[in-house]
Chains A and B, each alone.
Chain A
Amino acid sequence: MIFFLLLHSHVLSLKHRVTSFHGKEVIKPLIFFLIGLVFWTGTFIIFYRVLGYFQSIESLGDFLAAKLLSMVFLVFFSFLIFSNIITSLSTFYLSQDLQLIFSLPLSLSEIFFARLVDTILKSSWMVLVFGLPVFLAYGTIYHVSFFFYGLCLLVFIPFLMIASSVGVIITMTLIHFFPAHRTKDVLFVLSIIFLVFLFLLFRFLKPESLVDPERFASLLDYFAAMRSFSSPALPSFWATECLLPSLQSSYKGSSFFYFLMLWITSLGLLVTGNQVAARLYFHGWSKSQESRRLRLSQSSFFNRTIDVLVWPFSTPTRVMIEKDLKVFFRDTTQWSQLLLLLSLVIVYLYNFKVLPFDKSPIPSFYLQNLFSFLNLGLAGFVLAAIAVRFVFPAVSMEGEAFWIMRTSPFSLKKFLMNKFWMSLIPLVVVAEILTVMTNYFLKATLFMMIFSSITIFFMTFGITSLGVGMGAIYPKFKHTSSAEIPTGFGGLLYMMYAMGLIGLTVVLEARPVYILFTSHAQHTNLPLWFYGELGIALFFIGVINIVALVLPMRYGLKNLSSLEGLG
């Protein structure tokens, strides 16, 4: 069939990507594979232990395992629908090869089915890979035969087909009303707002209070809440009902009926999708080719603010800052990332505000200062998480237009330093707000407040330099969205180095700070050797931070200077 031929091109590209790895290039996929393996094994162990624990609860165990399975399917289904909407925007509307495909003598149905299979594969492989340990854990705990795994496969095929068809139909309908480029932006922002909302809601519901025995609701309420997870109208419910009888012999259900429901619905949706495509697809695709015009105000408050901000600098530096700020704030994906960052900071600060020191058996003076010290590491981690999103991509954000910088009389060193200062200033502000606010909430001593503020101030230099430098060592100029820049190997390596820097700094400071607090609490004088130890610790902290400041920028500059291509 034609659509196998169309898919074949994707298979070939994948094959070439895999076979082209050699030498050092093997390291990247290997590290990703190992991380995947750790995640995979972790998922298996967690499910195995949870299910094992359920088994130990008499009479309730099977019920809980069944409900967990139903929740897993519901989560998969929601994730798959969303992932299919996003993927199908690319595969059906924005993909470069569509120009060629639409010019070939292919029927719309052939194109539709080829793209649908492409969408299913691209959007579902992750669910399959990470879903497998869940089902393996069920299989191991319930000692099932191979029939169960075969059945899983037969259930997953229509399950994925349903999610994909629904996703694609939603996309085609959306594109009918909005242009494709806009839809992608809007969906991305909406999804992030949705995530932020869920995250904040979850945090403010105080899940920790659930383990408080005084707040245990009645068992009936608990069952009622559990029931709300499954609606018989959803394919996730049908999939659960298909698998349960082969897991639990005591489970009475009409497995075959739901199996048929899954297959009939999936085939029905394929036909429906094809019908919808016949009416909407070509029209929508054609519309997505049209460019959009966006008129921007020239005398806005935003532009005037930028003019004031950049006033003290030389003209070339000024225009670089102006350009970076405009590009940053006009990119909708950056807005959504800013929202995520804001929610992260709010939740972080909120957690410190609600720490119940009054209930603790340990004197709160110790705890407050201990937390204040640990906060250094945590705030560092938050900063690294922010930096990997905003600082690491700074160089790559130039995109394929980087040739302009490289052929201009603006030196690459100046370019990198510009990126460094532009990232450092907002990061220092966030770092100091985080540290001072948390210390305030913790009611830490003035010494701790000043000590953490100074440490985090200098640490931010290292975190920023690592971000800009690593971003220059592993640039991703060919990206479709700024959100994808930190997702590669460089981003991962950056996080590892940044964590190393933060961890080492905190560890080196730990002992002197401990001695200082003990002597303060016991009202004793500090021993003389303490000053020697403090000096050594500060020396090493200085060395580590200077290395983090200098080396990444130097290597980054070297890499950018020797880059070939782009232009």
Chain B
Amino acid sequence: MIELINLTKKFATLTAVDNLNLKINAGEIFGFLGPNGAGKTTTIKMMVGLLKPTVGKVIIGGRDISKEPLEVKKIIGYIPDRSFLYEKLTAREFLQFVAGIYGFTKKECSDKINSLLRLFGLEEWGDELIESFSHGMRQRLVLSSALIHNPKVIIVDEPVVGLDPKGSRLVKTVFKNLTHAGVTIFLSTHVLEIAEELCDRIAIIQEGKVIALGTMDELQNKVNCKDQGLESLFLRLTGGEEVSESIDALKLPVR
């Protein structure tokens, strides 16, 4: 369903994404992990058409996003890490707007909007201006808007940032149900527990390159840490284990 071929992005002298090759099947939840600045968001931005790759291709649903951007965007639902929205619209108006952009009339989407607002706990807030929303509420609204047009592919950058435990649980359930319906989910996250629980396969990226790819079992075998969680695996692969040595540096004299 998703194919990244030799995907590369350079910003002046910095290579943010370096010759990335990935293939994600329909109905799969694919976890995309990596330390800060590894190139996760840059990859996602190329996948949704916000950035042009320096080299390489993004193929979604059999179409190249740089050649047929509108066709690809029709089947994508994108959830960014920071939810900038139209502050002067109400939640309901915002959802009507997004649905309208995908060609649904108010009548056609009215029931769907109500059920999404209910699902994400925003029913009471439907007629409030977005400017009065908390970060978590905005994130719930973005999630609703990404699902309004029944996308075949969902691309998520940090799905649970700002969400309370109830919200995170809800997101996990929704994602699982969507994959049962054949939706493909490409998920970038720092919350390893989510990746561990949800993802069929995981790619770990560092300095723009994939350093590990496979199911949890495959990754555990690769670094010889059977029965250990994703956190140890992640730290071992990305060199984070050295972190304990650096903790000494935090011991500043107390005044």
Asked if A408 and B90 sit within 8 Å, CB to CB, the answer is no
Cβ of A326 under 8 Å from chain B = yes
Asked if B102 and A326 sit within 8 Å, CB to CB, the answer is no
Question: With the chains together, A326 CA to B88 CA distance in Å?
Answer: 7
B97 surroundings in chain A (CB, below 8 A): 319-320, 322-323
Q: Which of B142-158 contact A (CB under 8 A)?
A: 145
Question: With the chains together, A296 CA to B100 CA distance in Å?
Answer: 21
- Contact (A403, B89) CB under 8 Å given A298-B127, A318-B100: no
Asked if A293 and B89 sit within 8 Å, CB to CB, the answer is no
- Contact (A296, B90) CB under 8 Å given A322-B97, A567-B80: yes
Which of A295, A326, A407 has a CB less than 8 Å from the CB of B76? A407
Q: Which of A277-317 contact B (CB under 8 A)?
A: 291-296, 298, 315-316
Closest-CB distance, A3 to chain B (whole angstroms): 20
Asked if B50 and A315 sit within 8 Å, CB to CB, the answer is no
Write out, one digit per residue, whether chain A residues 541-567 have a CB within 8 A of any chain B CB (1) or not (0): 000000000000000000000101111
Question: With the chains together, A567 CA to B49 CA distance in Å?
Answer: 10
Asked if B101 and A410 sit within 8 Å, CB to CB, the answer is yes
Pair count A-B, CB < 8 A: 99
Asked if B133 and A401 sit within 8 Å, CB to CB, the answer is no
A562 surroundings in chain B (CB, below 8 A): 52
Question: With the chains together, A72 CA to B225 CA distance in Å?
Answer: 78
Interface size grouping (class) on chain A:
20 to 34
Cβ of B85 under 8 Å from chain A = yes
Asked if A409 and B89 sit within 8 Å, CB to CB, the answer is no
B101 surroundings in chain A (CB, below 8 A): 316, 319-320, 404, 408-410
Write out, one digit per residue, whether chain A residues 515-549 have a CB within 8 A of any chain B CB (1) or not (0): 00000000000000000000000000000000000
B49, B50, B71, B131: residue with the most chain A Cβ atoms closer than 10 Å: B50
B70, B80, B101: residue with the most chain A Cβ atoms closer than 10 Å: B101
Cβ of A484 under 8 Å from chain B = no
Q: Which of B83-98 contact A (CB under 8 A)?
A: 84-90, 92-93, 96-98
Asked if B73 and A319 sit within 8 Å, CB to CB, the answer is no
Closest-CB distance, A371 to chain B (whole angstroms): 42
Q: Which of B114-137 contact A (CB under 8 A)?
A: 127-129, 131-134
Asked if A409 and B93 sit within 8 Å, CB to CB, the answer is no
Cβ of B174 under 8 Å from chain A = no
A294 surroundings in chain B (CB, below 8 A): 128-129, 132
Write out, one digit per residue, whether chain A residues 319-342 have a CB within 8 A of any chain B CB (1) or not (0): 110110011001100000000000
Which of A292, A400, A408, A566 has a CB less than 8 Å from the CB of B98? A408
Cβ of B74 under 8 Å from chain A = yes
Cβ of A272 under 8 Å from chain B = no
Which of B80, B103, B127 has a CB less than 8 Å from the CB of A296? B127
Question: With the chains together, A126 CA to B23 CA distance in Å?
Answer: 58
Write out, one digit per residue, whether chain B residues 225-252 have a CB within 8 A of any chain A CB (1) or not (0): 0000000000000000000000000000
Closest-CB distance, A478 to chain B (whole angstroms): 10
A566 surroundings in chain B (CB, below 8 A): 50
B90 surroundings in chain A (CB, below 8 A): 296
Cβ of A406 under 8 Å from chain B = yes
A131 surroundings in chain B (CB, below 8 A): none
Asked if B134 and A291 sit within 8 Å, CB to CB, the answer is yes
Write out, one digit per residue, whether chain B residues 25-54 have a CB within 8 A of any chain A CB (1) or not (0): 000000000000000000001001111100
Chain B, Cβ-Cβ closest to A561: B52
Asked if B103 and A315 sit within 8 Å, CB to CB, the answer is yes
B92 surroundings in chain A (CB, below 8 A): 298
Asked if B70 and A401 sit within 8 Å, CB to CB, the answer is no
Closest-CB distance, A559 to chain B (whole angstroms): 13
Asked if B128 and A409 sit within 8 Å, CB to CB, the answer is no
Cβ of B177 under 8 Å from chain A = no
Question: With the chains together, A331 CA to B85 CA distance in Å?
Answer: 15
Asked if A293 and B105 sit within 8 Å, CB to CB, the answer is no
Chain B, Cβ-Cβ closest to A314: B103
Asked if B49 and A406 sit within 8 Å, CB to CB, the answer is yes
Cβ of A411 under 8 Å from chain B = yes
Chain A, Cβ-Cβ closest to B130: A401
B145 surroundings in chain A (CB, below 8 A): 404
B45 surroundings in chain A (CB, below 8 A): 567
Question: With the chains together, A318 CA to B105 CA distance in Å?
Answer: 9
A326 surroundings in chain B (CB, below 8 A): 88-89, 93
A245 surroundings in chain B (CB, below 8 A): none
B186 surroundings in chain A (CB, below 8 A): none
Chain B, Cβ-Cβ closest to A292: B132
Cβ of A399 under 8 Å from chain B = yes
Asked if B100 and A319 sit within 8 Å, CB to CB, the answer is yes
A320 surroundings in chain B (CB, below 8 A): 97, 100-101
Closest-CB distance, A534 to chain B (whole angstroms): 46
Chain A, Cβ-Cβ closest to B126: A298
Closest-CB distance, A417 to chain B (whole angstroms): 15
Chain A, Cβ-Cβ closest to B81: A567
Q: Which of B61-88 contact A (CB under 8 A)?
A: 70-71, 73-74, 76, 78, 80, 84-88
| A-B pairs, 3 with minimum CB distance | A319-B100, A400-B84, A330-B88
List residues of chain B with CB under 8 Å of any chain A CB: 45, 48-52, 70-71, 73-74, 76, 78, 80, 84-90, 92-93, 96-105, 127-129, 131-134, 145
10 contacts between A and B (CB under 8 A): A316-B100, A316-B101, A316-B103, A403-B78, A404-B85, A404-B86, A406-B49, A409-B71, A410-B70, A410-B101
Additional pairs, 11, CB under 8 Å, beyond known A315-B104, A323-B93, A326-B93: A295-B128, A315-B100, A319-B96, A323-B86, A327-B86, A331-B88, A403-B50, A403-B78, A407-B50, A407-B73, A566-B50
